[in-house]
Structure 1
Amino acid sequence: MSVIIPVYNCDRFLGEAIDSVLIQTYQDYEIIVIDDGSTDQTCQVLEPYRNKIQYFYQENQGSAVARNLGIKEARGELIAFLDADDFWLLPEKLGEQVNCFEQQPSLGSVHTGWRIVDEAGDKIIDVEPWGDVPNLNLESWLMYKPVKTSGMMIRQDWLEKVGGFDGELRQSHDVDLVLRLALMGCAAAWWRRVAVGYRRYQGNTTRNTQTQAKCLLKVLDKFFSHRDLPASIQQMESQVRYHTLVWIAWYQYYQGFYGEMARFLKRSLEYTPYYKVETISDWVEQFKKFSVQNRLSLDICLLTDLPEWQQLIF
């Protein structure tokens, strides 16, 4: 078992991430830390762990490239990933995922739920994706994208088959990876426990909303450009693009980028299965749903009174 932790200027959280690995009941593992060109106190934080980790340094190239270096150096048959600002909640996390592979040898990957926490690590909400997405297959990965990198455990040979992460993607490379794995026939399953603490705070990479949106749409462009997609998957393209654009629009709204919100909602009109009035109603319902899922409040009056929203309607 190899645990790969990429880190870039995350010294204040890194120790907690490593400690959450060291307390695992399953002890047959190696910890590989890939320093992606950090300029903070990362090296000093790692000093007490030097005899417990393998450390590699690279010039800053992004977490996808860092994870690929970790995969290259890994000796384990199974690979688990942990972001430096996340942590594992349960000491049995590794052991139970390994047990899933042993019970189902055909599995290529096993995934967990996650807890969204604040900067201090206090609970905001637990996310149990299997409630809406009980089966992990190409259709569900594509439609719902229920992936959290720090909850993934994947067979090394499957990572080699697909060539690892796409190093050109600064974000959403986990979505790209699971889509490519599923397209090649990699079987995936849930370990149905909330096992990861995922921090929501100002400064983590997923807060870069513009990059995230660009990369996620690039992942879809890349995926639907495959010439050998099953006909049933090809027929999902409009539905997937519509749903993804509305989610991106909601995320832009949540971050306060109302012009970008309107831009992505307007793009969703190209793929909507509804008349325009029905589409606008669906936008509101989707915004409500996404807000509830993330335990965020949504002021419908504020939303619909925005000039950017009004311009979409008239």
Structure 2
Amino acid sequence: MPVLTINPFLVSVIIPTYNASQYIVQAVESVWQQTYQNYEIIVVDDGSTDDTVERLKPYLNHIYYIYQSNQGVAVARNRGIEVAKGEIVAFLDADDYFLPDKLAAQVALFSTQPSLGIVHSGWRRVDRHGTPLMDVTPWEKVPQLNLESWLRWKPVLPSAMMFKREWLIKVGGFDKRFPPAEDTDLVLRLALMGCEACWLLEVTVCYRQHPGSAMYKGLPQARSLAAVMDNFFSLPDVPVSIRLIEKRVRYNTLVWIGWYLHSTGHPKEMVEFLQKSWDYSPYRPVETVINWVESFAQFYQERGEEMDAQKFLKKRYWQKLMHWTLTVGLNSKK
């Protein structure tokens, strides 16, 4: 006789969407194609004005569709958490899509490690058409997921993660004050509360890169991440061990923001954030400038791109920044 397999968890897959009609069907169908079948799909339409609902009509009898006025992805995800019936929650942005074993592989880790609150995984960057660009395997750089590593490296991508719903409720869900870095804020607060996390050493989701994705939001993303850092370090229950690395965490975060702004075409604001990083730099002026350049080259390499350092160093804004660091910046620390 065949052995009956009882699925241990109902998984609630929450798909927030806003004007992503060209991608939403692929997202939904990628859930239907999962090898793990004990799930529900909750689509929270955050006030779309395109033809999202028309595209979803053939699926409405099989998904839980919620329409709300436009309030942002944090509110949309929180609405999904509120109505979810599953013990486990998987988020899927409407422009991303799961690979077939995503749910099964992550649920298996929850089954064998009941203390876990988060299971994270790798992701595949694809272009707007779904053509693969590169696989991202963050555990090679960040083997352990704890409060310190979340702070230092911030390897957060909701579509690649799975959460125990009880933890999402306990932490109060996503904070709408920090778009589009509300996901990093959530994970930091969860880690601070003691939520255990581990890696699934597999690529489980395709993360679509296109002009409307969070990766290209430039100034809002930069300012939001900086605000998340300010908020986190203002919390009264941050442990002493984390206080001791605050300056280094702030420095590295501001340098990453500077690179991110450069990569998204905001050189003026790049200069602003690198100047802020100087206040936390553990290096002397010349060493700091060298670290900025080396960090930029590394960040580009991690994204599968090369930086023309010689061309970069000749930019007028960079020349002015170096002059500031060696004069005004140096005097500011005396």
Residue aligning to 1:108: 117
Matches within 5 A, 1:247-266: 247-266=256-275
Once residues 316 and 228 of structure 2 are traced to their aligned partners in structure 1, the CA distance between those partners, rounded to angstroms, is 31
Contact 1:2 1:30 in 2 (8 A): yes
The answer to whether the aligner puts 1:31 opposite 2:41 as a matched pair is yes
1:175 partnered with 2:188: no
TM-score (norm 1): 0.98
Structure 2 equivalent of residue 83 of structure 1: 93
DSSP-derived class of the 1:116 partner: strand
Residues 1-314 of structure 1: pairs in structure 2 closer than 5 A: 1-89=11-99, 91-314=100-323
- 1:129-156 alpha-carbon deviations (Å, 9 max, x no partner): 0001010000000000011110111111
Instruction: Name which one, 1 or 2, has greater alpha-carbon Rg.
Output: 2
Secondary structure at 2:117 match in 1: strand
Contact 1:252–1:261 (8 Å) recurs in 2:
yes
Shift of 1:208: 1.5
The superposition leaves residues 39-98 of structure 1 with CA deviations (integer Å, 9 ceiling, x where unpaired) of 001001111111211000111111010000000000000000000000112x11101111
- For structure 1, the residue ranges without an aligned partner over 5 or more in a row are none
Tell me which amino acid in the other structure corresponds to 2:156: V
Output the amino acid matched with 1:157.
E
Residue identity in the other structure for 1:259: K
Note if contact 1:109-1:153 (Cα within 8 Å) is conserved in structure 2. Answer: yes
Contact 2:74/2:176 (<8 A) preserved: yes
Instruction: Give the letter aligned to residue 248 of structure 1.
Output: I
Q: 1:196 & 1:267 partners in 2: Cα distance?
A: 35
1:205 Cα deviation after fit:
3.1
Contact 1:171–1:206 (CA under 8 A) maintained in structure 2: no
Paired residues, number: 313
Given that 1:35 and 1:56 are in contact with CA atoms closer than 8 Å, whether structure 2 keeps it comes out as: yes
Q: Which residue identity does 1:4 align to in structure 2?
A: I
For 1:158, the aligned partner's letter is W
How far apart, in 2, do the equivalents of 1:168 and 1:230 lie?
Answer: 24
1:24, distance to aligned residue in structure 2 (A) = 0.3
Partners of 1:44 and 1:271 in 2: CA distance: 51
Q: Distance in 1 between matches of 2:261 and 2:311?
A: 15
1:302 partner amino acid: K
Return the alpha-carbon distance in structure 1 between the equivalents of residues 214 and 242 of structure 2.
30
Deviation per residue, 1:243-272 (Å, 9 max, x gap): 111111111111121111111111110110
Using structure 2 for the length normalisation, give the TM-score: 0.92
Q: What amino acid is the match of 1:39?
A: T
- What one-letter code is carried by the residue in structure 2 that aligns with 1:63? V
Decide which moves more: 200-209 or 163-172. 200-209
